[in-house]
Structure 1
Amino acid sequence: MKHTISVLVEDEAGVLTRIAGLFARRGFNIESLAVGPAEQSGISRITMVVPGDDSIIEQLTKQLYKLVNVLKVQDITETPCVERELMLLKVNATSVTRSEIIELSQIFRARVVDVGEDSLTLEVVGDPGKMVAIVQQLGRFGIREVARTGKIALVRESGVNTEFLKLQSMEARV
């Protein structure tokens, strides 16, 4: 199972290296990593997606707390969250296929950010599932390049679990 871990750290040189080193020494892969300033000056938020079972994640959490600059560690996998990712996607686009690609991008609320002679570059923002879906749909045109930021997430203060609501909606239709 993939876990989403949110870590608040002091914004100092070498913190990310120590965290990555901790994972590497234990043979764990970080599938997604996003780092940026948090709400308080001098604090950064690291959001990681890490594969592993609950016991492995619990062990990693304990190890993270042992690092000097780590302030808070949360496994937010099962917590209602707002999750987003940014992706830039360069797709082959001929004069024949260009309008179809633009139409598909509008369905996914993607924006065209660059137009080349034989390509379009799209900006897509959304949950990781949306990223997979648009890549699948546009794959038949030929994808030249992809750049993804990795997932960022914040716990929902409302406590509303949108994944639960999606499942309820799907069950109601069946």
Structure 2
Amino acid sequence: MIQNTLSKHTITALVQDKPGVLNRISSMFRRRGFNISSLAVGQSESENLSRMTFVVDGDDKVVEQVTKHLHKLIDVMKVVDISEENIISRELALIKVKAGADNRDQVMQIASMFRANIIDVSKEFLLVEATGDENKINSLINLLGDIGVSEVMRTGSVAMNRASNRNGKKSKQSKLLNRKWEEAASV
């Protein structure tokens, strides 16, 4: 039974690494009226395949439609909705903060609390680099916003199933997904 609860869903796809693939996929989303909250694409462990991570807002029916339409595209080898899996999700953010002599220490202290790095310094600004899940990045930006954020650039979320369950053994679900990815990569 499909639930109609709106939430964020994380979908990964293994796709051919060639020109035009991202355009065809984003055009499919546009034509169908699906909204992508986050998108990250990068080289996979296989030479000719890229891995895409989409975060889509919607109910289970929308996510089912998205995955079905992705499966129909010729360059898409495998699609998996990993929202209900035991995953690790991260994104990178660069945050330019107005920081003069009066508040520079405060910005550095907040960055340190979030295990973020100061990667550039000028008379008027500090550039903060942070990695974490969406909530961590949002919290950091909100705290720095009280000081004065002038610019933010965020990558899309990247996500991956955890390698093992609590007792250190791979779960049946994890083994099944690994087999599916291997089959797709061998094409």
1:71-110 pair list within 5 angstroms:
71-110=77-116
Looking at structure 1, the residues matched to 65 and 91 of structure 2 have their Cα atoms a distance apart, in angstroms, of 27
Looking at structure 2, the residues matched to 134 and 41 of structure 1 have their Cα atoms a distance apart, in angstroms, of 36
Aligned-pair Cα RMSD in Å: 0.8
Match for residue 123 of structure 1? 129
Amino acid corresponding to residue 13 of structure 1 in structure 2: P
Pairing 1:35–2:45 present: no
Match for residue 149 of structure 1? 155
**Contact 2:16–2:50, Cα closer than 8 Å, also in 1:** yes
Looking at structure 2, the residues matched to 157 and 58 of structure 1 have their Cα atoms a distance apart, in angstroms, of 25
Looking at structure 2, the residues matched to 39 and 17 of structure 1 have their Cα atoms a distance apart, in angstroms, of 22
Match for residue 28 of structure 2? 22
Structure 1: gaps of 5 or more residues: 161-174
Match for residue 166 of structure 1? none
Amino acid corresponding to residue 65 of structure 2 in structure 1: Q
Q: CA deviation at 1:94?
A: 1.3
Pairing 1:66–2:72 present: yes
Amino acid corresponding to residue 156 of structure 2 in structure 1: G
Looking at structure 1, the residues matched to 84 and 14 of structure 2 have their Cα atoms a distance apart, in angstroms, of 18
Identity %: 47
1:3 to 9, 22, 31: 9
* Partner-residue secondary structure (3-state), 1:31: strand
Q: CA deviation at 1:159?
A: 3.1
Structure 2: gaps of 5 or more residues: 1-6, 167-187
Pairing 1:44–2:40 present: no
Amino acid corresponding to residue 74 of structure 2 in structure 1: V
* Partner-residue secondary structure (3-state), 1:21: helix
Looking at structure 1, the residues matched to 12 and 101 of structure 2 have their Cα atoms a distance apart, in angstroms, of 44
- How many residue pairs are counted as aligned between the two chains? 160
Segments ≥4 residues shifted beyond 3 Å:
none
Deviates more, 1:8-17 or 1:151-160: 151-160
Looking at structure 2, the residues matched to 108 and 63 of structure 1 have their Cα atoms a distance apart, in angstroms, of 39
Residue-by-residue CA offset, 1:84-132 (whole Å, 9 max, x unaligned): 1000000010101001110110000000000010110000011111100
